[in-house]
Amino acid sequence: MAATQEEIVAGLADIVNEIAGIPVEDVQLDKSFTDDLDVDSLSMVEVVVAAEERFDVKIPDEDVKNLKTVGDATDYILKHQG
């Protein structure tokens, strides 16, 4: 069953917490991965791979650069999840 927007944000919050140590409550739709959440370019690759696995979605490298905020990633996953 496809994940809801709320479930995706919660899932991304877990992933960002694991990788960057940011408290889950700080991971919100308007937050930028690099500017607000301490996720640098290498860690972003980890976030993407973890999200692919968790939400059964493929996020090609060329699309990763468009995922600036948690909201961007959530929309992408909502649209492309299997």
Partner 1 sequence: MSPTNRTVVVTGIGATTPLGGDAASTWEGLIAGKSGVKPLEQDWAADQAVRIAAPVAVEPTEVIPRPQARRLDRSAQFALIAAQEAWKDAGFEAKAGEDPNVDPDRLGAVVASGIGGVTTLLDQYDVLKEKGVRRVSPHTVPMLMPNGPSANVGLLVGARAGVHTPVSACASGAEAIGYAIEMIRTGRADVVVAGGTEAAIHPLPIAAFGNMMAMSKNNDDPQGASRPYDVARDGFVLGEGAGVIVLESAEHAAKRGARVYAEAVGQGISADAHDIVQPEPEGRGISQALQNLLDRNDLDPAEIVHVNAHATSTPAGDIAELKALRKVFGDDADHMAVSATKSMTGHLLGGAGGVETVATVLALYHRVAPPTINVENLDPEAEANADVIRGEARKLPVEGRIAALNDSFGFGGHNVVLAFRSV
Is there binding between residue 2 and partner 1 (CB under 8 A)? Answer: no
Nearer Cβ to partner 1 (5/41): 41
In the region spanning residues 14 to 73, those forming contacts with partner 1, defined by CB under 8 A, are 19-21, 38, 42-43, 45-46, 49, 52
Nearer Cβ to partner 1 (4/38): 38
Given a contact cutoff of 8 angstroms between Cβ atoms, the answer to whether 22 and 40 are in contact is: no
Closest CA relative to residue 17, chosen from 7, 28, 6: 28
Binding residues for partner 1 (CB under 8 A): 19-21, 38, 42-43, 45-46, 49, 52
